[in-house]
């Protein structure tokens, strides 16, 4: 683990984790102190923590595995109760990216980036640019072992700034030679995963007529809601950003308050904001048949997968369901073809179907079956090496 800290004093960091995937600039005024992130098992190749010489903010990059290829994972600009929570978030998300890429059949490893934002100020203007350049220097120092992309709190324009200091960035706007916003492909993949779950739970893959609660209407959640509305689902939506009530009106969807969203009675619950939405406090109270959303690390504790299964709730492993965005930026690296990316994102339905079959055959949870699929590919790569 490499930790470097220039003498410049850091701005203190802290934060809450609101149930929204809004950008950092939009969400910053509403941020409150949130819970700490619990310790994460450390079997990663590398963790870099560096206080930015320009901004004073901590940049963090976690590289979990490069067994299949360079570690790719987005960078999130967010506030945490302490810097250690930013490290833990990067570590657990990087691990998820390893499994996501492996299970999707991509020649990529897993990594993740974080900029720890201060609790008392919006990160915009000169401070934002300084923080992005500091982060870019960390990425460049890894010499291609980590490729960054867009995540929570980050916009395509921020990637352009990062590109000034490193070539190891993907998901750039089309006018800069990139593939653009990956969120439509993430939404396509989540809908495909829902079809696999509906086929298993209800005997019909169509979401038409199913009551679906989309919790979080950011880039992915709003697009997923649009797709589900077009498919005939009975929509319930929620977000901490009050202005997003207009999405509910536009889609003729029911709006529920964020505090009630996770316990909404529905057929499919779709957590589409930050991680840890399903926790020990609500797992026994969920009123749904399926949990399938776009958020990373939806389970605050992986043991909750068994608890959900015990209640007859089908959980779609998030790193399977939300792989469409990764597929999109991967195709940019390999020579972007939108048609091929769409084909692979839609294939998530078949991939998850096989995972659900394996879980039934082995008497295990879908999460365990998905991890086993990923591990088999990682072990084969290790043998080949």
Nearest Cα residue to 220 out of 9, 22, 32, 40: 22
Q: How large is the greatest C-alpha to C-alpha distance in the chain, in angstroms?
A: 61
Q: Which helix (H) or strand (E) holds 270?
A: strand 268-271
Distances (CA, A) of 255 to 180, 244, 284, 308, 342: 30, 10, 23, 25, 30
What is the rounded CA–CA span in Å between residue 185 and residue 312? 29
What residues contact 353, with CB distance under 8 A and at least 6 apart?
A: 196, 199, 200
- Degrees to nearest 5, angle at CA 22 with 62 and 239: 125
Distances (CA, A) of 218 to 90, 226, 327, 372: 20, 12, 19, 31
What is the rounded CA–CA span in Å between residue 161 and residue 10? 22
Q: Which helix (H) or strand (E) holds 329?
A: helix 324-335
Q: Which of 7, 8, 100, 112 is catalytic?
A: 112
164 HSE (CA, 13 A, CB side): 12
**C-beta separation of 263 from 282 below 8 A:** yes
Q: Find where tokens 């997923």 sit.
A: 224
30 HSE (CA, 13 A, CB side): 15
What is the rounded CA–CA span in Å between residue 345 and residue 18? 28
Taking the CB of residue 144, how many other CB atoms lie within 10 A of it? 13
Distances (CA, A) of 148 to 168, 322, 339: 6, 17, 23
Is 100 annotated as catalytic?
no
What is the rounded CA–CA span in Å between residue 358 and residue 354? 6
Supply the residues annotated as catalytic. 112
């Amino acid at each position: 683990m490499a930790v470097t800290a220039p003498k410049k004093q850091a701005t203190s960091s802290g934060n809450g984790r609101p149930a929204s995937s809004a950008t950092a600039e939009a969400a910053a005024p509403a941020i409150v102190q949130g819970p700490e992130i619990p310790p994460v098992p450390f079997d990663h190749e590398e963790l870099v923590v560096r206080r930015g010489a320009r901004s004073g903010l901590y940049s963090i990059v976690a590289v979990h595995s490069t067994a299949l290829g360079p570690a790719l994972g987005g960078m999130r600009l967010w506030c945490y109760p302490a810097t250690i929570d930013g490290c833990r978030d990067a570590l657990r998300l990087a691990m998820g990216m390893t499994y996501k890429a492996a299970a999707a059949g991509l020649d990529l490893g897993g990594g993740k980036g974080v900029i720890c934002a201060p609790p008392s100020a919006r990160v915009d203007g000169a401070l934002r640019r300084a923080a992005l350049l500091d982060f870019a220097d960390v990425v460049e120092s890894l010499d291609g072992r980590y490729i960054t992309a867009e995540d929570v709190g980050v916009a395509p324009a921020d990637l352009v700034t990062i590109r000034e200091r490193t070539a190891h960035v993907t998901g750039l706007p089309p006018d800069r030679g990139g593939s653009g916003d990956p969120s439509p492909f993430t939404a396509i993949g989540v809908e495909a995963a829902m079809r696999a779950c509906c086929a298993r739970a209800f005997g019909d893959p169509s979401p038409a007529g199913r009551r679906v609660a989309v919790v979080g209407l950011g880039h992915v959640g709003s697009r997923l809601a649009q797709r589900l509305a077009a498919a005939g689902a009975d929509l319930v939506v929620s977000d901490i950003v009050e202005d997003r009530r207009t999405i509910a009106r536009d889609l003729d969807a029911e709006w529920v308050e964020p505090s009630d969203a996770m316990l909404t009675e529905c057929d499919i619950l779709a957590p589409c904001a930050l991680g840890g939405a399903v926790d020990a406090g609500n797992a026994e109270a969920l009123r749904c048949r399926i949990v399938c959303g776009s958020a990373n690390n939806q389970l605050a504790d992986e043991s909750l997968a068994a608890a959900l299964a015990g209640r007859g709730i089908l959980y779609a492993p998030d790193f399977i369901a939300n792989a469409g965005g990764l597929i999109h930026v991967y195709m940019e690296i390999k020579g972007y073809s939108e048609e091929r990316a769409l084909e692979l994102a839609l294939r998530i339905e078949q991939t998850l179907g096989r995972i659900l079959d394996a879980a039934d055959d082995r008497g295990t949870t879908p999460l365990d079956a998905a991890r086993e699929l990923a591990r088999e590919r990682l072990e084969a790569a290790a043998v080949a090496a």
